[in-house]
Chain A
Amino acid sequence: MNALLFNVTLGIYFLATVTYLAYLVKPRDSLGRTSHWLISIGFLVHCAFTVDRYVEAGHTPITNLHEALSFFGLALVGTFIAFERRYKVFIIGSFVTPLAFVLMVVSSLFPSAITPLNPTLMSKWLAVHTTLAFLGYASFALAFGAGIMYLIQEHFLKSRKLGAMYQKLPSLEMLDEINYRCLTFGFPLLTFAIISGAIWAETAWGTYWSWDPKETWSLITWFVYAALLHGRLTTGWRGKRAAILAIIGFCILLFTFLGVNLLMPGLHSYK
């Protein structure tokens, strides 16, 4: 049942990726509507998969790489749908669905067996801490997507090749606005994730902060996004520079999420 739900999600995300990319090349309304339906259904199936696994495992399914990547995909698609409804920037889907599909493919490469919970993770904070963190990651991923689109769009404008893609991409102002909006969600979520992690660390290890690699790297990410937010207050850090910084920020975040767990010893490594 669990594997079936996972594979159905994977399949739907694949179809959505195809239709969203096709939409980018040939912007027909019917393609757009189909894509939107596909990703929404995919999200529901993905939710069902996650709930089913939660019930089976008895804890938030996020404790090995298979689960964590899938959870990231779920948070990403969910955040995208919320943003899409709010800002009507449908085209971001052409960026988000391929990413969600890749996350699911990579997730499927890792062993899917349910791993028993190590004593440290047996805490109500597991659900709170990880959900906050992954929703934050998802917002930053959208900011990253908006940043990439900004650079593409700017390239079109500069080279004066205004093709179909140029017409479909939102205006530079809109992309900058989306970038900023994503940061204003991602940054609070990241902050709350760090605070909830500190509370958990205090009850589990007796210290709210121990400069563990994961803690340090999330603080590094926090510093970078804090710098970006303050940079926007001075007019110079909008537009292209903000787009580039959102991209750099997300690369650091990816390292915090995956690099630290895979490369550095510590309390967050997936075993």
Chain B
Amino acid sequence: MTTDNRGVVQSVWDFFCSLKLSIFLLIGLAVTSIIGTIIPQGPPAPEYLQTISQAKFKIYAALGFFDMYHSWWFLLLLYLLTINLIACSIKRLPRVWKIISEPTLVMDEGFEKSLSLTHEVKVGGEPAALKDRAAAFLRKEFAEPRLTEVDGEYHFFAEKNPYCRLGVYVVHLSIIIIFIGAIIGSLAGYKGYAAIPEGGSVSTIESRSGKQIDLGFAVKCEKFSVSFYDTGAPKEFRSILTVLENGKPVPGYENVKVIVNQPLTYKGITFYQSSYGPTGEGGVFHFTVRERKGGAPVPLTVRQGERASLPGGGTIQVLEATQEVRSVLPQFSGPAARIEVTPPGGSPQPFVVFRDYPKFDEERGGNLIFTYEGADEKYYTGLQVAKDPGVWVVWLGCALMVVGILLAFFLSHKRIWVRVARGRVTMGGTASKNQAGFQLAFDELVDKLKSI
């Protein structure tokens, strides 16, 4: 390699090792990330397109603003950050490793001057006798010391938490591992959606990119139910699912309850409760009907889209029904149905009946008084389906990041040197973090050293 080439390589290397680049990239990522929180991500909706001009749309589309977190320039920033933190770590790690693996064992005069915390105590007696007391002192008050003898003087070195210096590099490594996990997920995983009617099953799902994916097994929805708060807000969506292999239920995966925050995972594919809706068919509604002039109430079952006969002639039909009427009629709550009753030879009369207001229909003044008892309406359950083989790599990265951050922020590498010479004992110390806190501890040690 010529010197010129080496010069170029060196300057490229220096460029990637620089902390200025890290700061530039971090700020750059922060600023550009804002774009995606202002411009809606994903295929733009027609309503949004009407609010921007054609020229703007072209610019946005060319710059990838509609999927900016996957645009080439955003990914480039992330890749540059990755290279930057690898380069920074490679450059600085050997020096840090040397501090850990080959600590300075001897505090000579020159080194002593470089330490900000030093103290000398005058002590009588032979160095050989003082030596044992100094060792016992360090062992008791600080950490196990290492002894080096130089020219009749005894040098002790003791340290705490040397490995916390690696915390920063553990965090850097964890970020790279999280990126690897994300890449694995995007290459080998998919996200999709499945809608399964109650009693039905699916063995293929549609991915977000519109591809049909064969699961290799089937998932059956045994039952779906939804419960509400008094306010009408949904409280719980619950699907009961069974996994089928070759049409047979898989032991341990029968009638599994799946609610939000409690998904079902089978063979690396996870099913999350995400939505629901009426299938619009096969629903069965229950009513009781009694005659105004008296008599026992008669139960009545009406199927969705069908007419049922009423006692004493006439027909009934369900127009619509809901589990929670509050959103339509705010003064009522609970299940309700809008029904149409056609008396023999009369015209159809539509009206609403409620489950929780059994007396309500008396006010209507008809010959027959109806009460709604509820529906066995058939629902479909909407499940988010995800396969992400990279997720465990991401969790590994997150765990490492927690460990690394605890090391890097909450532990400090503390070092103490003690030199025992004739008539005097000198102590020096330093800490990798929180010098002010360490100084207090050092001063305490000095006080105790005076009485050794």
Report which A residues bind B (CB closer than 8 A): 116-120, 122-123, 177, 184-185, 187-188, 191-192, 195, 198-200, 202-209, 211, 213, 216-217, 219-220, 223-224, 226-227, 230-231, 233-234, 252, 260, 264
Contact = CB atoms under 8 A, between A and B. Distances in A.
A123 B229 CA distance: 17
B384 A205 contact: yes
B74 to A, nearest CB: 11
A205 B388 CA distance: 13
B272 interface: yes
Contact of B37 (A217, A223, A233): A217
Interface string B241-270: 000000000000000000111110000001
Contacts of A185: 409
B30 A120 contact: no
A206 B41 contact: no
The 6 A-B residue pairs whose C-beta atoms are closest, nearest first, are A223-B30, A227-B26, A119-B260, A116-B229, A206-B272, A206-B386
Contacts of A120: 260-261
Given A191-B401, A204-B272, A208-B394, A216 B263 contact: no
A250 B237 CA distance: 38
A260 B37 CA distance: 9
B386 A234 contact: no
A117 B270 CA distance: 24
Interface residues of B, number: 48
A221 B436 CA distance: 28
Most buried by B among A122, A177, A223, A231: A223
Given A204-B260, A211-B69, A216 B384 contact: no
A147 to B, nearest CB: 18
A111 B389 CA distance: 44
A7 B142 CA distance: 50
Contacts of A233: 19
B34 A230 contact: no
B234 to A, nearest CB: 6
Interface string B217-237: 000000000000111011111
Given A211-B36, A216-B33, 10 more contacts: A116-B231, A120-B261, A198-B394, A203-B263, A206-B191, A206-B385, A220-B34, A227-B27, A230-B23, A260-B37
B402 A122 contact: no
8 contacts: A119-B235, A122-B261, A202-B391, A206-B386, A216-B36, A216-B37, A230-B22, A260-B37
A207 B386 contact: yes
A206 B270 contact: yes
B287 to A, nearest CB: 30
Interface in B40-95: 41, 69
B128 interface: no
**Interface of A, helix, strand, loop or mixed by DSSP:** helix
Nearest to A204: B261
B23 A227 contact: yes
A231 B22 CA distance: 9
A25 B69 CA distance: 51
Interface string B391-409: 1001100100110011001
Contacts of A117: 235
A267 to B, nearest CB: 12
A227 B261 contact: no
Contacts of A118: 233-234
Nearest to A213: B37
Contact of A203 (B41, B229, B261, B388): B261
B261 A123 contact: yes
A120 B260 CA distance: 6
A264 B36 CA distance: 12
A120 B259 CA distance: 9
A90 to B, nearest CB: 17
B384 A188 contact: no
A68 B436 CA distance: 35
A230 B236 contact: no
B29 interface: yes
A129 B261 CA distance: 14
Contacts of B30: 220, 223-224, 227, 252
A187 B22 CA distance: 17
Nearest to A217: B37
Interface in B258-316: 259-263, 270, 272-274
A86 B59 CA distance: 54
Nearest to A119: B260
A229 to B, nearest CB: 9
A200 B272 CA distance: 13
Nearest to B70: A211
A160 B115 CA distance: 35
Given A188-B409, A191-B401, A207-B386, A223 B26 contact: yes
A213 B406 CA distance: 28
Given A119-B235, A202-B391, A206-B270, A192 B402 contact: yes
Nearest to A86: B437
A132 B96 CA distance: 31
Nearest to A198: B398
B399 to A, nearest CB: 9
Contacts of A116: 229-231, 233, 235
B401 A195 contact: yes
B433 to A, nearest CB: 8
Contacts of B270: 206
- Residue in B37, B69, B272, B388 with the greatest tally of chain A CB atoms within 10 Å: B37
The CB with the most chain A CB atoms within 10 A, among B29, B231, B234, is that of B29
